[in-house]
Structure 1
Amino acid sequence: MQLIVFAVGRMKKGPERELTGRYADRLDKAGPAVGLTWGGVTEIAESRAATGEQRKTEEAGPCLALGAERGTALIALDETGKSLTSNDFATRLSDMRDHGTRRLVLAIGGPDGHAPAVRDRADLTLSLGRMTWPHQIVRILLAEQLYRAVTILSGHPYHRS
């Protein structure tokens, strides 16, 4: 199953990008052994629309288009979503993979969050905590958890339960 991160907001050069890249590289190397491949990041600029609802709607279009392909699942990251342990997250990924999901899009919304259409389409709304995080930090956390999921599924000692 191919893993793709969709993100509203551009990641600039710097330590956040480097750390995200480090986990993505680890995922890219270790993932194929457990049937998970790294598909990269699709990022769009934040909308400049006048209202939050308009911005969310504009930002939703490319996300929904990416998730429209047959065999694609969508996880929307949102503070109101379900909080999972790392082991539970790894299990969710393996269940999706084992039930024929070919591609998984993990969507990081903009400052206004996700449009209702994205949350409605999502197979899972996932929370990394009830606090609001900048998208750069969310990318780091998500990349690390994807790599951690791969190590859990492969029995690697990186994760200690």
Structure 2
Amino acid sequence: MRLVVIAIGRLKQGPERELAERYRERFDDIGRKLGFRGLEVHEIPESRARDAASRMADEAAAMSAATPAKSVLVALDEHGDNIDSGSFARHLGRWRDDQVANTIFLIGGADGLSPELRRMAKLRMAFGSATWPHQMVRVMLLEQVYRAATILAGHPYHRA
């Protein structure tokens, strides 16, 4: 199973990008041994539309165009479920075992994800009830993906 993060906006050079890349590389090292075919990040420019509804629609169209058919969608959504790392690992392991070709993680822009993308998601998840900057959400997601792989591998990184 291939994992893909589709995010609105770019991470500029700096500590957030370095940390995100570190977790992506760590996942690649352990993930391939677990049957995952890699972890990619696709950045989509923010919409320049004047109103929030148009921006969300533009961004949803771009995200949908970047999503392969027959993919499991995971929406990062402030109103999503707060799931623990073990549950998240079980989701990824089950989708891998069910031979899902792609799991796509969607991180919306400043206005969030369109209602249509949220409805299409197999899993909607949040990192608590606080509002987080999009660059931090990306880093936290990549860390959780890496952590999930270590849980599935029985690696000591995850100690609960």
Q: Do the structures match in fold with TM over 0.5?
A: yes
In 2: Cα distance, 1:36 partner to 1:133 partner: 28
Other-structure match for 1:76:
75
How far is 1:82 from its partner? Answer: 0.8
How far is 1:100 from its partner? Answer: 2.1
TM-score normalised by structure 1 residue count: 0.96
1:67-107 residue CA offsets vs partner (Å, 9 max, x unmatched) = 3412x110010010011000000001111111121111101
What letter corresponds to residue 124 of structure 1 in structure 2?
L
What letter corresponds to residue 47 of structure 1 in structure 2?
S
In 2: Cα distance, 1:68 partner to 1:87 partner: 27
What letter corresponds to residue 127 of structure 2 in structure 1?
L
Secondary structure at the counterpart of residue 22 of structure 2: helix
In 2: Cα distance, 1:121 partner to 1:44 partner: 19
Q: Is the CA contact (8 Å cut-off) linking 2:44 and 2:63 kept in structure 1?
A: no
What letter corresponds to residue 41 of structure 1 in structure 2?
V
Q: Is the CA contact (8 Å cut-off) linking 1:90 and 1:153 kept in structure 2?
A: yes
> How many percent identity over aligned positions?
46
In 2: Cα distance, 1:142 partner to 1:19 partner: 11
Question: Can you give the 5+ residue segments of structure 1 that lack an aligned partner in the other structure?
Answer: none
Secondary structure at the counterpart of residue 109 of structure 2: coil
Question: Can you give the 5+ residue segments of structure 2 that lack an aligned partner in the other structure?
Answer: none
Other-structure match for 1:100:
99
Structure 1 moving runs of 4+ over 6 Å? none
1:54 maps to 2:58: no
Other-structure match for 1:112:
111
| Count of aligned residue pairs for this structure pair | 160
What letter corresponds to residue 113 of structure 1 in structure 2?
G
What letter corresponds to residue 108 of structure 2 in structure 1?
G
